[in-house]
């Protein structure tokens, strides 16, 4: 009996350590949910022989928390934070410096204005993923408004009240509130933040759920008829059957974001991660991603490979004159104010 | 009154009317959600809650979903490592605590064993997370295995303790008379008698490890996703019948293991 | 019976050493570290700064508002209160549902008893997350209850019962999660009931209600208390039911703690709340031990 136990233990240790050693290479990708097309992974695996596992998170904040808690290594080789969080992560020492990004074969495809962006000026930490905006989306058949003002989201009409859902995390929602109230992002002014809190508290009375996942399902089942949303994902919702799902571009503007691939500190498969970074900068591959997630990207030549659906995607086309205000990395004071507001909201 | 009549009288007086019906409702409450879950896994439509027809497609989709297979593999690795560790520790502890007589640290050791059961799981999860983060212990699946080994110990301990207590101590005494060597007495008499208890303990520990969610959620890093954690992310993302299918399979697996454990115990008791 | 032979103590130490090491390092260690973290200052981006600070605990009662002034903040006390109330309600409901069932099962023949009790325990060994998820399907919009109500004509198509994301939904989830834990100890107590006592009582008391009140309840009290503890304590720290069925809007202790380590990134506060939860549990268990002792004394005297 003891012998059998011993044998079992030994063989399982082999499985544990051996499985990794025998593979050509492994890659652990940590990405937003519903943001990684199977087709893309399969293509990458076929081309490189590297085995990819994908774990998901629902917000930048969750990602940041996970990286912070990870100590010397989270086990992830790649993550996809938004621009201002890349800044924070660099500052907090959570990212690996990646040598030779600009020498990567496909780097030439990146549009000039995105080479060395403000959050990563020396291009030592990130390569582009996608860009888009955050606002709200509604079922046009059930909602009589037209999404022309951000206040329709924060002070919903009676038909929306009780059928409204908001993102679970602070960052984008607080910024949307800033747009609605006309105050600046990263405000350190307590009065302005109090106004934000009051607005959110009033909205809470009409909110059914705070969640950043399963958005299209909630809209599809008509559990809610208005939801905080992202432009591309709302387009995907339309494709998947919510025909009247309309993304709002209110006059106050929408919150812009730019996601990038980064390598968390202590990543074990850095070479494989760099291979993937290079892979993603190729127009064909970026197009697969855009065709799936329906967002704009930083690789102009990928337009050649975009699907018809993408070319006709109405939800991601920004109308003239609507400002797209990108989120910024706030300093500690401002961040702590945002956290306070959100904590008070969630109580 | 004859005993048989007495028994009849008891059953008459002590069977409250309606309690039987209540018990039926009770079991209904316990099992209907499970049945709903399983039946909706055969839903042909995409949205879990809108029934459109019967289909196996979610099960076939399951088996081609690499992420689920990886997560299942991880769950199995963790359970197959943590359960034996917990069982071994529990066996030694049981031997010392049940057969060791009274000693100073007995109460303390008993307390230690039940500690993982008493502390709320969220507290254990969070404390373990902080602990691993601070010490910089980050070996992926091994973190999960360590955490699981700890809370599986009380579950492995319970059946082993029960088996030891039920064992007739005279058998061991007799064995020691027969065998000159204490350890052969142990090996040939005590251990075989104890084996069903040990296997029961192992099975309980195994099931508990496979099912664990909260601790694994907080402690697991990249590439260490187990099946329950993966199901959680699926549930959060949107409810397709695929989740039902995975859940149903997990349910059936747990039920099978527990049923096996139960039959094993019954045979042992009879 | 003792293990005869030389080095008895040594054997014992060797046998218990793995237990002490494993639980000492991986259970007590983490709890100690968590206690320490609760006394440190949170880093805005997650993790902690290594400086002593009572901010974590202060935040439970007091909060600095946006203007930097400290003011009493009832919110977390409300969350603790809400958790207490829901846990108590769940315990009471579990008792009401489970007690008659436990009694009925204990009155059956041995074979039937064994099978029924087995059926009671089976759900407990399945995944808690999955069992809670089943309720989303039942309670959700377009779910089983709504569909059947529409089918039976109780409500119109397109109307919703709004069962999800309510305190009631969380309550149902909690009761469902831990119901077997209420039934098993009560059943164990009732099984041990001496039939002769029941027979004597049957002669004395004419009404069934008196029988229950004066005989059955007192005799099964240890089991009832045990069951209540086994349900109350996990409900207090529950995380899954409030998270999935409550929509994240109604925070309870368990989800509050988890939230601090997920997007809220406030470790010292999370650790402080966890310590408070631990303290509450210890109090409840201590209380339980006192009652058990009193009951044992009572039994040995009477």
Enter the ipTM.
0.81
B41 pLDDT band, cuts 50/70/90, is confident
A183 and A210 assigned to the same domain = yes
User: What is the CA C2 to chain-centroid distance, rounded?
Assistant: 38
Mind listing the pLDDT tens digit for each residue in C55-84?
Answer: 888 888 887 777 777 778 777 888 888 899
A332 and A217 assigned to the same domain = yes
Q: In chain C, how many domains are there?
A: 1
A206 and A177 assigned to the same domain = yes
In a domain, C134, yes or no: yes
pLDDT of residue A165: 93
**Chain B: residue nearest A32 by CA?**
B237
For A99, A223, C148, the CA distances from C152, given in Å and listed in that order, are 66, 21, 6
Mean pLDDT of B56-74: 83
A197 and A332 assigned to the same domain = yes
Q: At residue C118, does pLDDT exceed 90? A: no
User: H-helix or E-strand containing A208?
Assistant: strand A207-210
In a domain, C262, yes or no: yes
Residue with tokens 């002593």: C52
| CATH at C178 | 1.10.3720.10
User: Is-contact B220 B39, C-beta < 8 A?
Assistant: no
**Among candidates A250, A245, A247, which has minimal Cα distance to A139?**
A245
Highest mean pLDDT among A224-233, B4-13, B36-45, B234-243: A224-233
Residue with tokens 């943001």: A35
Q: At residue B8, does pLDDT exceed 50? A: no
A184 and A330 assigned to the same domain = yes
A230 and A114 assigned to the same domain = no
- Least-confidence region, from A59-63, C142-146, C164-168, C266-270: C142-146
Mind listing the pLDDT tens digit for each residue in A297-316?
Answer: 999 999 889 998 888 888 88
* DSSP one-letter code for A28: E
A191 and A175 assigned to the same domain = yes
Percentage with pLDDT > 90 across chain B: 13
Q: At residue B129, does pLDDT exceed 80? A: yes
Please report residues of C whose CB lies closer than 8 A to that of A209: 165, 247-249
Residue with tokens 């994301």: C165
Q: At residue A4, does pLDDT exceed 80? A: no
In a domain, C21, yes or no: no
A196 and A229 assigned to the same domain = yes
A12 pLDDT band, cuts 50/70/90, is low
Whether residue C249 lies within 8 A of chain A, CB to CB, comes out as yes
pLDDT of residue B7: 47
**Among candidates A152, B7, A58, A253, which has minimal Cα distance to C109?**
B7
Q: Sketch out chain B's domains with CATH numbers.
A: 17-57 (no CATH), 59-269 (1.10.3720.10)
A57 and A118 assigned to the same domain = yes
pLDDT of residue B4: 47
In a domain, C146, yes or no: yes
Whether residue B16 lies within 8 A of chain C, CB to CB, comes out as yes
Mean pLDDT of B189-205: 84
CA distance C140 to chain A (A): 9
Q: At residue B73, does pLDDT exceed 80? A: yes
**Among candidates A235, B74, A163, which has minimal Cα distance to C141?**
A163
What are the backbone angles phi and psi of residue C64, rounded to the nearest 5°?
-85, 125
Which residues, 6 or more positions from B128, have their beta carbon under 8 angstroms from its beta carbon? B147, B215, B218, B219, C26, C30
A321: helix, strand or coil = coil
Mind listing the pLDDT tens digit for each residue in A128-156?
Answer: 999 999 999 999 998 998 889 999 999 99
pLDDT of residue A20: 46
B6 pLDDT band, cuts 50/70/90, is very low
In a domain, C283, yes or no: yes
B23 token code pair = 């018990």
In a domain, C26, yes or no: no
Preferred mutation among C24, C134, C160, C237 to probe B, highest tally of B CBs within 10 A:
C134
In a domain, C85, yes or no: yes
A81 and A108 assigned to the same domain = yes
Residues spanned by the domain of C297: 38-301
Percentage with pLDDT > 70 across chain C: 89
A8 and A55 assigned to the same domain = yes
CA distance C261 to chain B (A): 8
Mean pLDDT of C29-57: 83
User: C265: left (phi > 0), else alpha (psi -120 to 50), else beta?
Assistant: left
Whether residue A339 lies within 8 A of chain C, CB to CB, comes out as yes
User: B72: left (phi > 0), else alpha (psi -120 to 50), else beta?
Assistant: alpha
How far apart CA C121 and CA C103 sit, in angstroms, is 16
pLDDT of residue C67: 76
State whether A210 and C247 contact (CB < 8 Å). Answer: yes
| CATH at A198 | 3.40.190.10
CA distance A301 to chain C (A): 36
Residues spanned by the domain of A228: 132-256+319-346
State whether A214 and B135 contact (CB < 8 Å). Answer: no
DSSP per position, B32-58: HHHHHHHHHTTB-SSSTTS---B--HH
How far apart CA A119 and CA A95 sit, in angstroms, is 13
Which pTM does this prediction carry? 0.81
């Amino acid at each position: 009996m003891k012998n059998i136990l011993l044998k079992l233990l030994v063989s399982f240790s082999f499985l544990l350590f051996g499985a990794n050693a025998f593979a050509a290479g492994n890659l652990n990708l940590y990405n937003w949910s519903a943001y990684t097309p199977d087709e893309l992974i399969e293509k990458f695996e076929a081309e490189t022989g590297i085995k990819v596992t994908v774990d998901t998170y629902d917000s930048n904040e969750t990602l940041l928390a996970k990286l912070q808690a990870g100590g010397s290594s989270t086990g992830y080789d790649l993550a996809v934070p938004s621009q201002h969080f890349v800044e924070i992560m660099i500052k907090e020492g959570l990212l690996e410096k990646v040598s030779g990004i600009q020498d990567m074969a496909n780097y030439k495809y990146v549009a000039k204005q995105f080479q060395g962006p403000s959050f990563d000026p020396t291009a030592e930490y990130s390569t582009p993923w996608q860009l888009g905006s955050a606002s709200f989306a509604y079922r046009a058949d059930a909602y009589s408004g037209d999404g022309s003002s951000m206040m329709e989201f924060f002070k919903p009409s009676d038909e929306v009240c009780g059928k409204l859902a908001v993102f679970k995390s602070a960052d984008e929602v607080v910024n949307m509130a800033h747009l609605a109230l006309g105050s600046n992002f990263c405000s350190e002014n307590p009065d302005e933040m109090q106004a934000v809190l009051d607005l959110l508290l009033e909205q809470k009375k009409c909110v059914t759920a705070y969640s950043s996942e399963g958005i299209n399902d909630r809209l599809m089942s008509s559990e809610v008829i208005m939801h905080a949303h992202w432009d591309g994902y709302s387009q995907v919702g339309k494709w998947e059957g919510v025909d009247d799902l309309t993304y709002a571009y209110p006059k106050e503007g929408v919150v812009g974001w730019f996601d990038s691939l980064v390598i968390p500190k202590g990543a074990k498969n850095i070479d494989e991660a760099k291979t993937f970074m290079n892979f993603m900068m190729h127009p064909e591959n970026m197009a697969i991603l855009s065709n799936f997630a329906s967002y704009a990207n930083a690789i102009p030549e990928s337009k050649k490979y975009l699907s018809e659906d993408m070319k006709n995607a109405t939800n991601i086309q920004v109308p003239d004159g609507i400002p797209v205000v990108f989120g910024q990395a706030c300093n500690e004071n401002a961040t702590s104010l945002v956290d306070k507001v959100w904590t008070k909201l969630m109580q | 009154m004859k005993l048989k009549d007495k028994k009849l009288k008891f059953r008459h007086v002590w069977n409250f009317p309606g309690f039987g019906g209540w018990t039926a409702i009770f079991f209904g409450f316990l099992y209907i959600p499970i049945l709903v879950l399983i039946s909706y896994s055969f839903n042909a439509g995409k949205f879990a809650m809108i029934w459109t027809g019967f289909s196996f497609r979610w099960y076939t989709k399951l088996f081609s979903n690499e992420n689920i297979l990886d997560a299942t593999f991880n769950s199995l690795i963790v359970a197959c490592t943590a359960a034996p560790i917990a069982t071994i520790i529990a066996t030694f502890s049981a031997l010392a605590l049940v057969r060791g007589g009274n000693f100073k640290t007995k109460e303390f050791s008993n307390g230690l064993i039940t500690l993982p059961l008493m502390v709320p799981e969220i507290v254990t999860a969070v404390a373990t997370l902080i602990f691993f983060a601070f010490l910089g212990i980050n070996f992926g699946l091994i973190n999960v295995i360590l955490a699981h080994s700890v809370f599986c110990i009380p579950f492995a301990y319970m059946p082993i303790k029960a088996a030891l207590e039920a064992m007739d101590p005279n058998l061991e005494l007799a064995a020691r008379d027969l065998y000159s060597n204490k350890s052969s007495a142990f090996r040939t008499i005590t251990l075989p008698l104890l084996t069903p208890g040990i296997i029961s303990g192992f099975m309980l520990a195994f099931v508990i490890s496979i099912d664990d969610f909260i601790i694994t959620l907080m402690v697991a890093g990249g590439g260490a996703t187990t099946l329950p954690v993966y199901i959680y992310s699926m549930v959060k993302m949107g409810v397709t019948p695929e989740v039902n299918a995975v859940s149903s399979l997990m349910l059936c697996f747990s039920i099978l293991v527990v049923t096996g454990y139960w039959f094993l115990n019954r045979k042992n008791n009879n | 019976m003792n293990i005869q032979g030389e080095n008895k103590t040594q054997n014992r130490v060797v046998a218990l050493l793995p237990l002490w090491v494993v639980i000492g390092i991986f259970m007590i260690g983490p709890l100690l570290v968590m206690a320490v973290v609760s006394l440190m200052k949170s880093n805005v981006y997650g993790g902690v700064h290594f400086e002593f600070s009572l901010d974590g605990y202060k935040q439970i009662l007091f909060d600095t508002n946006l203007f930097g002034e400290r003011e009493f903040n009832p919110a977390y006390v409300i969350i603790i209160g809400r958790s207490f109330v829901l846990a108590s309600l769940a315990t009471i409901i579990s008792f009401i549902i489970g007690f008659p069932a436990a009694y009925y099962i204990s009155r059956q023949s041995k074979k039937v008893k064994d099978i029924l009790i087995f059926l009671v325990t089976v759900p407990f060994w399945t995944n808690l997350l999955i069992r809670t998820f089943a309720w989303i399907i039942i309670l959700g919009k377009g779910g089983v209850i709504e569909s059947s109500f529409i089918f039976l004509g109780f409500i119109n198509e397109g109307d919703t019962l709004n069962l999800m994301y309510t305190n009631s939904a969380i309550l149902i989830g909690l009761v469902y999660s831990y119901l077997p834990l209420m039934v098993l100890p009560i059943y164990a107590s009732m099984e041990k009931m001496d039939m002769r006592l029941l027979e004597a009582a049957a002669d004395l008391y004419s009404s069934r209600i008196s029988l229950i009140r004066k005989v059955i309840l007192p005799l099964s009290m240890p089991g009832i208390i045990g069951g209540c503890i086994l349900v109350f304590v996990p409900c207090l720290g529950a995380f899954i039911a409030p998270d999935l069925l409550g929509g994240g809007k109604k925070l309870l202790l368990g989800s509050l703690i988890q939230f601090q380590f997920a997007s809220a990134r406030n470790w010292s506060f999370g650790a402080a709340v966890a310590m408070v939860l631990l303290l509450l549990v210890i109090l409840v268990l201590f209380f339980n031990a006192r009652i058990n002792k009193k009951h044992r004394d009572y039994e040995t005297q009477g």
